[in-house]
Structure 1
Amino acid sequence: MGVEIAVTGLTKTFGSQTIWRDVTLTLPAGEISVMLGPSGTGKSVFLKTLVGLLKPDAGSIVINGRDLTRLREADLYEVRKLFGVLFQDGALFGSMTLYDNVAFPLREHTKKTEAEIRRIVTEKMELVGLSGAEGKLPGEISGGMRKRAGLARALVLDPEILLIDEPDSGLDPVRTSYINQLFVDLNAQIDATFLIVTHDINTARTVPDNIGLLYHKHLAMFGPREMLLSSEEPVVRQFLNAQTIGPIGMSEEKDADELAAESGQELPPLPPIALQLATSDGQPRRAERPAGAWCRDNGVTPPPGSFESRNAGIPGVRVEVG
């Protein structure tokens, strides 16, 4: 069972540079959340701060009634056992086989026997589709397999919180789709709290229960998937729908001349909201909401054609009904 993470007034700086300030959100227990944002907005820094690898300048991160920002190192070490982390490149030890990479946290943090470790490692590698690859080295496998091996390692201590940094980095669209399906299936099986940092619009529009957007040193918005996908907030609308009109330019923020040139231009209509990705076996996840429920409950009329396909309105994706 996942746990809730309550973040309040979080601020992080490096010297005179503010990364983001006053970030406040709640990651609901057992749900999948995605954090988006243009490059350089501190998404990876946010993940590292959540797990206590970086200390914020202000604010709190409360898990199970304990504020991580105020814990002693020994207590923080214990709370970190709630977390599993999948880094961008898998962060595997190049000289170790996949089996030994996945077994490493168990050997480092538990007193389990090798027989127990073998059972757990075999189970997790099967879960991510790597059965039979236990003896391979990271350099002998594809990027997608390295991601899955990193995911297996993140799962061996049965975490209640899973932090995933740029899972689509270096992967082609087909393998990104496979790993997205794996996240949805895993969430249904282990009921952990997921936070995925990504740039992939398809992932953001179809995988999560909640979406957040970091922009210009603050959290522009965080909430249920349908709330953001139907939002008229310019930066949210522009980013989630891959539009050129809006405050985001080639640099993090457009200059005044660009914005003035765009004033008066009619924004493209919002694309249809796609159906959320379902589990492979069709069984509902605990956190899953009926399609259109948020819109109905909040009196919001979704764009025409919403909830008719998995890929509706996703730039560059062929529509696939069902």
Structure 2
Amino acid sequence: MGVEVTVEGLTKHFGSQAIWRDVSLTLPAGEISVMLGPSGTGKSVFLKTLVGLLKPDQGSIWIQGQDLTTLRERQLYEVRKLFGVLFQDGALFGSMNLFDNIAFPLREHTKKPESQVRDIVMEKIELVGLQGAEGKLPGEISGGMRKRAGLARALVLDPEILLIDEPDSGLDPVRTSYINQLFIDLNAQIDATFLIVTHDINTARTVPDNIGLLYHKHLAMFGPREMLLSSEEPVVRQFLNAQTVGPIGMSEEKDATELAAESGMELPPLPPIALQLGTSDGRPRQGEKEPGAWCRENGVTPPPGSFASSHAGVPGVSRATGTAPEPVGA
């Protein structure tokens, strides 16, 4: 079962450079959250701060009644056992085969006998679909397989919080779709709290229960997926819909001249909100909500055609019922 993570007023500088200021949010227990933002906004720094690898200048990170920012090294070491981390490139040891890479945390942090280590490693290898590849070196497999091996290693200590840094980096769209489905299925099986940092808009639109956006040294918005996908907030709307019109420019923020040139331009309509990706076997997830529920509860009319799909059994269709709901706002 995942645990809730509450961040209050988190601020981080490197020297005189502010990375982000006064970030506050709550990652709901057992749900999948995604953190977005233009390149260089400190998303990876945020992950490293959450797990205690970097210390914030101000603020608190509350997990199970403990503020990680005030813990001593021994206490922090214990809390870190709640975390599993998948780094951008998998961070595998090049001289070890996949089995030994995945077994490394068990051998390093537990006193389990080798027979038990093997059982756990093979279970995680099967979970991520790498059966038969355990004897290969990282250099002998594809980027997608390295990501899955890194994920298996992040899972061997049965974490309650899973931090995932740009899982789509270096992957083609097909492999990205496979790994997105894997995250959905894993969340249903282990009920861990997921936080995924990504630039992939399709991932952000179809995978998470919650979305956050870091921009210009602050958290622009964080909340349920439907809230952000129906938002008229300029920076949120621009980023989530991959539009050129808006405050984000090539150097993160547009200057006054660029913004003036866009004055009076009509924004393209918001695209329909897609159905959230369902589990492969139809089992429900803890964070799964009925399509359109947030919009109805908050009196928001979603873009026309939202939550529609031509048939079940494809990415984005709720597999819990095997059918797609009627379009909302059509």
TM range (shorter): over 0.9
Residue of structure 1 in register with 2:75 after alignment: 75
Residue of structure 1 in register with 2:164 after alignment: 164
Residues 150-205 of structure 1: CA deviation (Å, up to 9, x unaligned): 00000000000000000000000000000000000000000000000000000000
Residue of structure 2 in register with 1:314 after alignment: none
Find out whether 1:277 has 2:277 as its counterpart.
Answer: yes
Shift of 1:309: 2.8
Aligned-partner residue type, residue 164 of structure 2: I
Residue of structure 2 in register with 1:130 after alignment: 130
Indicate the SS of the match to 2:48. helix
Indicate the SS of the match to 1:2. coil
Residues 98-132 of structure 1: CA deviation (Å, up to 9, x unaligned): 00000000000000000000000000000000011
Distance 2:52 2:310 in 1: 36
Runs of 4+ in 1 over 3 A off after TM superposition: none
CA pair 54-229 structure 1, distance change in 2 beyond 3 A: same
Counterparts of 1:101-120 in structure 2, within 5 Å, are: 101-120=101-120
Distance 2:41 2:256 in 1: 20
**Count of residue pairs brought into register by the alignment:** 316
Residues 32-77 of structure 1: CA deviation (Å, up to 9, x unaligned): 0000000000000000000000000000000000000000000000
Residues 262-309 of structure 1: CA deviation (Å, up to 9, x unaligned): 011111110000000000011111110000000000000000000003
Distance 2:309 2:196 in 1: 23
Q: Identity rate of aligned residues, in percent?
A: 86
Distance 1:309 1:283 in 2: 19
Q: TM-score, normalized by length of structure 1?
A: 0.96
Residue of structure 1 in register with 2:289 after alignment: 289
Q: Quick check: 1:275–1:310 contact (8 Å CA) kept in 2?
A: no
Distance 2:191 2:309 in 1: 25
Structure 2, unmatched stretches of 5+, are: 318-322, 325-330
Aligned-partner residue type, residue 41 of structure 1: T
Residue of structure 1 in register with 2:85 after alignment: 85
Q: Quick check: 2:188–2:279 contact (8 Å CA) kept in 1?
A: yes
Residues 5-41 of structure 1: CA deviation (Å, up to 9, x unaligned): 0000000000000000000000000000000000000
Residue of structure 2 in register with 1:221 after alignment: 221
CA pair 318-181 structure 1, distance change in 2 beyond 3 A: closer
Shift of 1:211: 0.0
Residue of structure 1 in register with 2:320 after alignment: none
Q: Quick check: 1:274–1:310 contact (8 Å CA) kept in 2?
A: no
Indicate the SS of the match to 2:133. coil
Shift of 1:225: 0.0
Residue of structure 2 in register with 1:201 after alignment: 201
Structure 1, unmatched stretches of 5+, are: 312-316
CA pair 31-310 structure 1, distance change in 2 beyond 3 A: farther
Distance 2:143 2:310 in 1: 26
Find out whether 1:261 has 2:274 as its counterpart.
Answer: no
Counterparts of 1:19-34 in structure 2, within 5 Å, are: 19-34=19-34
Counterparts of 1:234-253 in structure 2, within 5 Å, are: 234-253=234-253
Aligned-partner residue type, residue 217 of structure 1: K
Distance 2:217 2:316 in 1: 34
Indicate the SS of the match to 1:237. helix
RMSD: 1.6
Q: Quick check: 1:292–1:307 contact (8 Å CA) kept in 2?
A: yes
